[in-house]
Amino acid sequence: MLIKFLELRTYLITVALIIIFSSVAMSQITHQQTSSNSTVNVVLRGNYADPTIMRDGKDYYMTHSSFDYYPGLLVWHSLDLQHWTPIARALNKNVGNVWAPDMTKYKGKYYIYFPANAVFYVVTADKPEGPWSDPIKISDNGIDPGHLVTPEGKRYMYVSGGRYTELSDDGLTAIGKYQKVYDGWQYPKNFAVECFCLESPKLNYRNRYFYLTSAQGGTGGPTTSHMVVSARSKSPTGPWENSPYNPIVHTWKSSETWMSKGHGTIFDDDKDNWYIVYHGFEKGKLPLGRASMIEPIKWVPDGWYKTALSDTAKIKYVITNNGQIKSDDFSGSKLNLQWSFAGIKNLDEYSLGNGKLTLNASPDVQRVMVANITDDNFEASARIDTENGTQVGLTVYYNDKVYSGIAIENGKVFGVTKGKSKGKQINAPDCKYLKIKLISNDLTIYYSNDGKNWNMYPEAYEVSGYYHHILGDWRSVKVGLFCMGNGKMIVDDFVYQGIKKP
């Protein structure tokens, strides 16, 4: 009996050990599978450049460069970092070309610091949904602000070129001149870059260290130019030690799906998981501009951070089309947040009423209402009423000199390309509806009297060259409804539909 008992015990121990080792092996396999299927979330496709994210409890808020479109500084909200909803426009006064903001919260108040034409401003609000204050000027001379509050409660603002200044307690005034405290990271000489371009300083405090996350290399040059670099110091004014893991984010070769990745902000969730948000161009789709993407990072034992997804061959990019354009009948009392304007100085140049949007035209400058294109292929149409002496149109829009689409003026329909009328004018005195369809960068245009029976215009256009590397100006393609002249443009029944790849 004793021998049989010992044999049984040995058997049970052997089985248990097999189960334990199998579980460990399966755990390793599962971990390897998880790693091999790791993803970077492209949360906003289209031109959502220079992203900044802040966390407030379990809520995340994000905003971006809005350039010279107004209202500007669109604020997004998320609970899971994948699905984002626009909630407010924080900038409702035209102060210039807005680049690279920084969003933060301090003592119950929300702040967005931003430069416009190299002048620094801040807007504030008691809640992210607004209302937001008028912009308050802080200082001159620089771009890309980064806000920091030390454990002692002192406030600083860092700007491009490795410079900083102290802020007043309320965060609304710069104290003293900017001083240079950081020289950047000297990348290898064989890196193909656009410029050194030390920009986008973003500050974090963790475990007795201040961490400075910056951009270098230039954002619009070669595929491999842009990068995110990290440095740390035990003082907010340095000296700064560069990370041995630099560059933290980088496009290493031209064959990668996403190019010119850079301009990063690191942040955590409520469980002490950390992430970095940055922007990048999608290969072969430069007209869409720089998308916002989020990638996990990890802290290593020596106190530095690096990306958690180190094997670029295994990284998958998952696109969530949060910013897709929506149809709009203009029946609400407020303008849909997808729209902004160029060519206007004040927001009272447009009005909503009776289910229509009315935009005052100007004989001196083109005025345009735009929405950010996020689809490769789409069609859009609208009913557009106008007055004699006013040209109105529906276009794929880059800027007031480069756009292609279809226009109406004095009862005649005609195509426009590169900002100029082209082709014959067609008599269409009853035309009220215009439509554009973009398939693989080829643009066909249509007109109609009733919005049901469409006439195809006899010429089509190609817009693959509508991007910054060729045209400059940091723009992207947008759906644009424009007007110019002495009258008004009245827009109704805007209809948009993304088209799956043919």
Domain for residue 106, yes or no?
yes
Joined tokens for residue 186: 């000297």
Q: Which of 40, 64, 66, 43 is nearest to 52 (CA)?
A: 64
Residue 154: both structure tokens together:
């002192």
- 348: pLDDT strictly greater than 90: yes
In this prediction, residue 502 carries a pLDDT of 65
Whether 240 and 282 share a structural domain: yes
CA 480 vs CA 6, 47, 261, 312, 365: distances in Å: 83, 15, 28, 37, 15
Span 55-74, average pLDDT = 97
Structural domain includes residue 23:
no
Residue 420's pLDDT band, with cuts at 50, 70 and 90, is confident
| pLDDT band at 317; cut points 50, 70, 90 | very high
C-alpha–C-alpha distance, residues 214 and 231, integer Å: 8
Question: Is residue 276 located within the same domain as residue 352?
Answer: no
Spell out the residues 6+ positions from residue 67 whose beta carbon is closer than 8 angstroms to its own.
97, 98, 99, 474, 475
Mean pLDDT of 4-26: 40
Residue 76 falls inside a structural domain: yes
3-state class (DSSP) for residue 327: coil
Is 190 part of any domain?
yes
Close Cβ partners of 255 (under 8 Å, ≥ 6 residues apart): none
Strand order in the sheet with 390-399: 340-342, 367-372, 478-485, 390-399, 402-409, 412-417, 420-427
pLDDT of res. 482: 98
pLDDT greater than 90 at residue 493: yes
Enter the DSSP assignment of 171.
S
Which of the pair, 179 or 419, is modelled with greater confidence?
179
Residue 389: pLDDT above 50?
yes
With respect to residue 191, please indicate whether it lies within any of the assigned structural domains.
yes
Q: With bands split at pLDDT 50, 70 and 90, how would you rate the model's confidence at 496? A: very high
Which three-class secondary structure state does DSSP give residue 439?
A: strand
Question: How confident is residue 312, by pLDDT bands cut at 50, 70 and 90?
Answer: low
Residue 442, domain extent: 340-498
Q: Which residue, 284, 319, 354, sits at the end of a domain? A: 319
Distance CA 398, CA 490 (A): 22
* Residue 172, token pair as written in the block: 């609304």
Compute the radius of gyration of the chain from its Cα atoms.
Answer: 26
pLDDT tier, 315 (very low <50, low <70, confident <90, very high otherwise): confident
* pLDDT-based confidence at residue 310 (cuts at 50, 70, 90): low
Q: How many structural domains compose the chain?
A: 2
Structure tokens at 227: 């990068």
pLDDT average, residue stretch 374-383: 97
* CATH code (residue 129): 2.115.10.20
CB atoms within 10 A of CB 237: 14
Lowest mean pLDDT among 1-10, 362-371, 406-415, 490-499: 1-10
Regarding whether 385 and 302 lie in a shared domain, the answer is no
In the predicted model, what is the mean pLDDT of residues 370-382?
97
Backbone angles phi, psi at 471, to 5 degrees: -100, -15
What is the C-alpha to C-alpha distance for residues 62 and 32, in angstroms, rounded to an integer? Answer: 32
The DSSP H or E segment spanning 277 is strand 274-282
Q: How far apart are CA 252 and CA 156, in angstroms?
A: 34
The answer on 382 and 314 residing in a single domain is no
Whether 421 and 352 map to the same domain: the answer is yes
**No. of H helices and E strands in the chain?**
2, 38
* Average pLDDT over every residue of 66-87: 97
Give yes or no for residue 191 having a pLDDT over 50.
Answer: yes
Contact 104, 54 (CB under 8 A): yes
Tokens of 430: 């009853």
Cα–Cα distance list, 481 to 354, 393, 461, 487, 492 (Å):
19, 6, 17, 15, 11
Which pLDDT does position 309 carry in this prediction? 82
Q: How confident is the model at residue 422 (pLDDT cuts 50, 70, 90)?
A: confident
State what percent of residues in the chain have pLDDT above 90. 86
414 and 461 part of one domain? yes
Residues in CB range of 286: below 8 A, 6 or more apart: 467, 468, 469
Q: CA 398 to CA 470: how far, in whole Å?
A: 12
Non-local CB neighbours of 120 within 8 Å, separated by 6+ positions: 113, 114, 137, 138, 139, 140, 142, 145, 157, 159, 174
Residue 313's pLDDT is what? 66
Is the domain of 313 the same as that of 344?
Answer: no
φ, ψ for residue 120, nearest 5 deg: -90, 135
CATH of the domain at 377: 2.60.120.200
| Strand 59-63 to 52-56 pairing | antiparallel
Determine the pLDDT at residue 368: 98
Domain for residue 31, yes or no? no
One domain, residues 291 and 439? no
| Distance separating alpha carbons of residues 123 and 133, to the nearest angstrom | 5
Residues with Cβ within 8 Å of 19's Cβ and at least 6 positions away in sequence, in order, are none
> For the whole model, what pTM was predicted?
0.91
* Window from 16-25, 43-52, 157-166, 465-474 with minimum mean pLDDT: 16-25
The confidence score (pLDDT) of residue 418 equals 85
The answer to whether residue 3 is domain-embedded is no
pLDDT at residue 152 above 80? yes
Paired strand residues for 278 = 293
The residue that leads in pLDDT, 231 or 34, is 231
Q: For 6-33, what is the mean pLDDT?
A: 37
Confidence label for 104 from pLDDT (cuts 50, 70 and 90): very high
CA distance 114 to 52: 11
Strands 39-44 and 316-319, by their bridges, are: parallel
CB 141 within 8 A of CB 115: no
Structure tokens at 259: 């190019």
Same domain, 276 and 408: no
Nearest to 48 by CA among 447, 415, 324: 324
Any domain includes 9 = no
Vertex 55, ends 208 and 96: CA angle to 5°?
A: 105
Q: How far is CA 473 from CA 71, 85, 477, in A?
A: 19, 27, 12
> Do 179 and 55 sit in the same domain of this protein?
yes
309 and 349 belong to one structural domain: no
- CB count within 10 Å of CB 138 equals 21
- Token pair for 394: 């529906």
The closest of 332, 323, 316 to 378, measured between CA atoms, is: 323
| Residues 397 and 286 reside in one and the same domain | no
Which carries the bigger pLDDT value, residue 172 or residue 39? 172
Residue 265 burial by Cβ neighbours in a 10 Å radius (0-12, 13-18, 19+)? buried
b (16+ CB within 10 A) / e for 108-137: eebbbbbbbeebbbbbbbeebebebbebee
Cα 1 from chain centre: 75
